[in-house]
Each structure stands twice: as structure tokens, then as C-alpha cells.
Chains A and B, each alone.
Chain A
Amino acid sequence: MDAVAQVLPESLVSLDAALEREFEQRLADSSALAVRVAMGVLRNRADAEDVAQESFVRAYRNFAGLRDREKFRGWLVRIVWRLALDRIRAQKRRERRELAALRQPTPPTVEDVAASREFEQRLTTAIDQLPERLRIVLLLAGVEGHDMNEVASLLGLPEGTVKSRLHLARKRLLEVLR
């Protein structure tokens, strides 16, 4: 990471050069995963990219302290997940403040209700209602190329647990949306 190396003391760079190279490799390998997980929570590309980048910055700060670097992807997923949820909560708080400022407690119109019944919005809402332990499994399983074994590895859970949680998540969505 040349940009970092330029601002570091020489001794520090030489000491950590191997770690820098390793982090660079992790960045290349896991960028898509970070963005997709963030996208699954935020459903907004700009926010998802921002959260994914912030997650890598946090991962960088603590990369040297990560004992088992083979678990980097799972660690990164948890960072992304937490930051994305924080972003969602902050957005909701901001929206509540803005709504309160507007002081327009009028009920939604018929057109609004009709629009809110579009499938995508319903699905989004239903996913948001899922418990976190089910939601993260559902989203990670939805990331292209992730089978149960990989999701289990990312989350540090038994594969059977991942399967049952995914099944329960899909069942709940189906019951809500039927």
C-alpha cells in the first residue's frame, strides 16, 4: 500500500511490509463481499460502498491483532454488518427527526399504500423485520457463489445451524408475503 508507506516512518514500513502486502491481497479478494453484504442491508449503492470502505479502514487498523487471518472474510463480514446496521439506525433517526420537523402526521394516501405494496418494498420490509441471526444468514446465502459451507465458515457457525436458520428465514418471509 504505497500511499500508506509514504506517510510512515521507514522503520515502521519495513517492519510491516509483509502485513501491508497481505492486507492489500485481502482488500482485492474481499471487496465484492463487503459491498454485497452492505448492499443487502442498506439497499443503496452509495451508502453500501461507503460502509464497505469504512469497514476496510477499521479492518486495517486492527489487522495486526487478528490472530487467525484466514478468518479475515468472516471478520470483515461482521464489521460490515455492524456498520451497515448502525448506518440504517442513524438514517432512521434522521428520518424521524425530519418527519417530526415537518409535522405532517397525515395518513398515507391510497396511492401511497398501493405503491408500498410493490413486491420489492414488501420484501425489503419483511427482511428488515427478521431477527439479525436469520437476516445475516439469508443475505450471505444470497451473495452469489456462497453455499452453506462458506456461510457457515464466514459466521463461525455449524453448517446445520446455517441451514436451519436459512430455512426459517425463508419460511418467515413466505408467510409474511403470501
Chain B
Amino acid sequence: MKEGKMSCRTVRDVLTEAALTGVPDASLRGHFLECASCKDEFARLVALAGAIDRGVAAMTSAAPSPGFAAHVRARVAEEPQVGFAWWRGWAPATVAGVAVLVLAAWLLWPNAQSPTSGDAPAIAGKDEPGEPPAPAKDATEKGVTPAAVQQERREVAADRPLRQPRAPRARVTPQRSETPAWPEVLVTGDEWAQVVKLYELSQRGRADFGKVEIVDPTPLEEKAQPLLIARLDPIKPIVEPPPAEPQ
């Protein structure tokens, strides 16, 4: 090894880079004038780089056989499902989307939870805030939807103490030994029809009586109406509510 402007060790480090281009820079050329060994090594690397390129090109120079396209057609024809139905690309996404919507609807449906998962039964009215309680007949005709019930939550526990009014109460024989699972509700007389309507909805799977809530803004305590406690297993009340007494 001869001493030049660049040491042979330094040159060896950059020979690979230079061999890839095939053209040594000025400093390398200066070193090659003084070091035949590095010059030979450079020439060998250039030849090797060329051989690599030719080898790679040879690997990828194959042409398809004359029957290539025919073979592809035959294999396509053997596919169990062939054709370009326009919806095929969208089908998986559509199915997934519908599944998500169904799941979301089931989860978000106001009364989707089990009747036994809630607290004690409560009472539902249907009137808008600020409006007086509607007569029972109108309430029955309009119906009480679960969405309306959901609008304003004001849950009232069935065993909530009601200090007033001192209206006459009718106690229904519970018969708990036979049907202990039926809920009991505390309801004013003019809301009885609404309760019945809700019960009917629950029987059709459209309402969950375990989660019925009051939307009537008028607190029960302010209603000077008779209350009724009744089992809800029959649609018709076991005991008809007594007529409301004028205040």
C-alpha cells in the first residue's frame, strides 16, 4: 500500500459507493494513480455491480407463456362466484353497517332494558311541561310512546312517601303468592287510563313498565286526586278508581 492523499482504508470504505456509479471521483482517481491494489479492487467491484444488475434483470426477464391468458380465463371460470355484480364490493360494508345500526337501535331504545333491571315501578303521564294533566280519555286516545316518556325523566319510586293529598285509597288484594313478579304502581285516578295504555304497550314489547317515568310536570303531591294502588296483570283495573273529588 502506498501513501496517497487518501489512505487505503478510507478508500475501501468509499469504493462500494463509487463502484455502484462506475465513476470514481477526483480523490479516488488520485489515489488509484498511486495504489494499484485499490484500483484493481475498484475495477472488480464495478464488474461485480454490473453482474448483479444483469443477474437481477435475468431473473425478471421471463415472458408469459403463449397460453397464459387462456389459463387465467379458465381459472376465473372455475371460480365459485364469478361476475362483477356492482354491489359485491359494497356488500360487506353494507351488512356491517346494518348490523351496527340494529345494535345501536337496540341499545338506545328507551325501554330496551329488562323490566327487572330497573328500580321500583313508577308512574307515567304524558303531558307536556306547563300543561295541565290531560283527562284520562284523551291520554288513552293519544297514547304514550316510549320516546315521549324518555323526554323528561322524573323517576318516582313506588314506595315514595306521599304526604298529601289525603285522598281515599283503594288497596287491591295483591295475591302475591300467585303472581309475585307483577309490579305495583301508585297512580292518581285520572292517570289510570294512561297506565293501562302503557301496560298495553309493554305487552306488545313497545314499552317497559319497569322503566316508566313521569313526564307530567305536576308533582304528585300537588294533585288532589285519589290514588289507586293496583296490580297490573290485567288490562282492566281490578278495582275501578274512585271518582276524583273536587278540591
For A12, A40, A53, A173, the residue with the greatest tally of chain B CB atoms inside 10 Å of its CB is: A53
- Determine if A144 and B75 form an interchain contact, defined as CB atoms under 8 angstroms apart: no
10 further interface pairs, Cβ-Cβ under 8 Å (given A48-B62, A142-B59): A4-B77, A12-B83, A16-B86, A53-B71, A53-B72, A119-B51, A123-B51, A123-B52, A174-B19, A178-B16
Given contacts A16-B85, A173-B52, A174-B19, contact A39 B72 (CB under 8 A): no
Judged by a CB distance under 8 angstroms, whether B112 is at the interface is no
Q: Which residues of B contact A (CB under 8 A)?
A: 16-17, 19-20, 44-45, 48-49, 51-53, 55-57, 59-65, 68-69, 71-77, 79, 81-86, 88-89
A43 to B45, alpha carbons, bound, how many Å? 25
Kindly report which residue of chain A lies nearest to residue B62, judged by CB atoms. Answer: A39
Using CB atoms, name the residue of chain A closest to B63.
A32
Q: Are A139 and B60 in contact (CB under 8 A)?
A: yes
Whether B72 and A8, one on each chain, are in contact in the complex, defined by CB atoms closer than 8 angstroms, is no
Interface presence of A157 (CB below 8 A) = no
Per-residue CB contact flags for chain A residues 47-90 toward chain B (1 = under 8 Å, else 0) read 01100111011001111110000000000000000000000000
Q: Give the complex CA separation of A171 and B236 in angstroms.
A: 91
Say whether A143 faces chain B, with CB atoms less than 8 Å apart: yes
**Structural contact, B20 and A174, CB atoms closer than 8 A:** yes
**A and B contact pairs by CB, cutoff 8 A, 7 listed:** A12-B83, A12-B85, A15-B85, A36-B62, A52-B64, A61-B79, A142-B56
Name, among A64, A124, A171, A174, the residue most crowded by chain B CB atoms within 10 Å (CB to CB).
Answer: A174
**A35 within 8 Å of B (CB atoms):** yes
- Asked whether B53 lies within 8 Å of A170 as measured between CB atoms, the reply is yes
* Minimum CB distance partner of B55 in chain A: A123
Per-position 1/0 for A2-43, Cβ under 8 A of B: 011011110011011001100000011001101111011001
Question: Interface residues of A: mostly helix, strand, loop or mixed?
Answer: helix
Task: Name A residues whose Cβ lies closer than 8 Å to a Cβ of B.
Answer: 1, 3-4, 6-9, 12-13, 15-16, 19-20, 27-28, 31-32, 34-37, 39-40, 43, 45, 48-49, 52-54, 56-57, 60-65, 119-120, 123-124, 127, 138-144, 167, 170-171, 173-175, 177-178
Q: A35-B64, A142-B57, A178-B16 are in contact. Are A8 and B83 (CB under 8 A)?
A: yes
| Residues in B whose Cβ lies below 8 Å from that of A43 | 59
